[in-house]
Structure 1
């Protein structure tokens, strides 16, 4: 072999060794092959004197009249926050002049990560109304006799520590908000109704149910002291007093369709289905389906009331002269005589005409339900 040929053989061997060496180097860099080439942890770059990341913050809007030992309640909330590495809760107490609207606005403006409502259904409604569209999660803490939104979302209603844990660590569920507008041309607003609401005195959010007629009259005449002593059973005496009062004419228009008129005792519009006592008044209602469920009750006497009760208990969806059911996204209710109006148990005045509409999935609620988590 000539000298020139040996030169080319040497070059070929050198190239071969270079390729093998490159392969070995690249193989050594594959993840998991050699610990010496693994990525350093984030703490490697943190100096010992660096500040830890700030803890998340929660504001709790509480109705102090619902508790005999408010200091004990605050201690429980602080204990749960510490156990979950959250900052100490910032507690905002409601007042007779502001039942939660202003306190919630202040908390949101302060940039908290979570707002919890701790009180009755009225406190929950006020806090939730201000949080619509904010994107900040709402925690539901048991503090009243009803706790209806929490019950409908299958949340803890008898254990404050557990409910606070769910609020801090649970999953987010987006639910609907329903809005009821009182017609300004046919309104007798009660003194103080809607005070503190950023939505104004004629437009009110609700998240469980609104109603005209009998149900509002029952709620209006039920003693708060009696509710605190015996719970939802306090509504029974008021119901017996009002159940046979004079019926009124109601005209219902749903989703812009033709109006329907009948004599009735009450009209209920629901975003959720369950009411006090675990009764499933609107069995098809879901809080996140973008739909409102409406019933018109028109029993004439005791026997007719018994029939209505049987249909509610058996969750019958059949429409009759005593109980009519509707599903819609908007509705207008007109009555021939002004009737009391309630939203989530709050009496907001009397009106001859109201309009309702649903706003789909605009409120974020912390829940432990896996089925509906998003």
Structure 2
């Protein structure tokens, strides 16, 4: 088996292993592997134009998305090695926290799953997302933060405070599998994975292999304190709040007002309204995961020794 390694050395946790060590781990799993240096998503195009038997994306969610966008709908599988800051895709696949070397060595006999992808028709063209697409307070915060700039927790907090302090619910008209919804909303997030951004678990029940998208809306019909939202998020009980709804559907259409709209960490906006259609692309991409570790066998009941007295004798 031949494997191509796509490695982002600038990812948040990428300093744990370098490209040479990643290649050695792949070779120990039985792969003929090589590394193709890339610095921008556009440089992936020639590398993946004629992919090998497996493409390994080692980096953060941005690296995983860039590779997945180029492999979706094709026959080449990919493997994910989480080496970023949030690693939401890896978390949804159940491999968050596993050491990169262990993941790669576990590909000797991989488990194979099919990953859903969000497919979007927008005024700027067709696009994809792996984690979430959305509008409202989070998209506006992301726009203020500018994800193209240097990553900074302090900048993120400042962007959040700046956005929240003046944000007002806006009317939004949308349809989920044909069911109409029209009301002022603070937030709309269409989730493919349970978490977005820095592991914010807006939809703990979301499963990127079930052929459905989780649509989270926060209306302005009941005011809840910031502490109330944070507590519910930490307890993974956000949908129990009176102004939060979670629907599962396959197709979403919304009348967009042009204000910030995000696809994963990418933000778009425009002057004037437009229409956005979102649908789940079931089983868009085959993903190889490390083989599950065998569970310890249940302890065997001790057998009586032939020379020992039986109970009761």
Counterpart in the other structure of 1:291: 212
Deviation at 1:250, TM superposition (A): 0.8
Matches within 5 A, 1:294-373: 294-299=215-220, 303-312=224-233, 313-318=235-240, 320=242, 322-335=243-256, 337-350=257-270, 352-368=274-290, 370=292
TM-score normalised per structure 1: 0.68
Match of 1:76 among 7, 16, 21: 21
Secondary structure in 2 aligned to 1:250?
strand
Aligned counterparts of 1:291 and 1:333: Cα–Cα separation in 2: 17
CA displacement, residues 156-187 of structure 1 (integer Å, 9 cap, x when unaligned): 446332233244542111121111221x3xxx
2:226 is paired with a residue of what secondary structure?
Answer: helix
Is contact 2:13–2:83 with CA below 8 Å preserved after alignment? no
Q: How many residues align?
A: 288
Change (3 A) 1:280 1:156: closer
Q: Which residue of 2 aligns with 1:251?
A: 173
CA contact (8 A) 1:94 1:103 kept: no
Whether 1:132 aligns to 2:72 is yes
The aligned counterpart of 1:63 is 8
Which is richer in strand? 2
Change (3 A) 1:302 1:318: closer
Contact in 2 for aligned 1:297/1:323 (Cα 8 Å): yes
CA RMSD after TM alignment = 3.1
Distance, in Å, in 2 between the alignment partners of 1:281 and 1:367 is 25
Does the aligned pair in 2 maintain the 1:104–1:130 contact within 8 Å?
no
Q: How does 1:1-374 map to 2 (within 5 A)?
A: 56-66=1-11, 73-95=18-40, 98=42, 100=44, 102-103=45-46, 105-106=48-49, 109-110=50-51, 112-157=52-97, 159-167=99-107, 169-182=109-122, 184=123, 202-222=125-145, 227=151, 235-244=156-165, 245-257=167-179, 259-276=180-197, 278-299=199-220, 303-312=224-233, 313-318=235-240, 320=242, 322-335=243-256, 337-350=257-270, 352-368=274-290, 370=292
| Cα contact 1:253–1:260 (8 A) shared by 2 | yes
1:103, CA displacement in angstroms? 4.5
Tell me which structure has the larger Cα radius of gyration.
1
Cα distance in 1 for partners of 2:88, 2:178 equals: 30
Between structures 1 and 2, the one with greater helix share: 1
Counterparts of 2:88 and 2:268, CA distance in 1: 18
Partners of 1:164 and 1:368 in 2: CA distance? 7
- TM-score, length-normalised on structure 2? 0.79
Q: How far does residue 246 in structure 1 lie from its aligned partner after superposition? A: 2.7
In the alignment, the residues of structure 2 paired with residue 157 and residue 137 of structure 1 have an alpha-carbon distance, to the nearest angstrom, of: 22
Local SS of the residue matching 2:143? helix
Contact residue 308 and residue 323 of structure 1 kept, 8 A: no
Q: Distance in 2 between matches of 1:67 and 1:289?
A: 29
Structure 2 unaligned runs (5+)?
Answer: 294-313
TM-superposed deviation, 1:269: 0.1
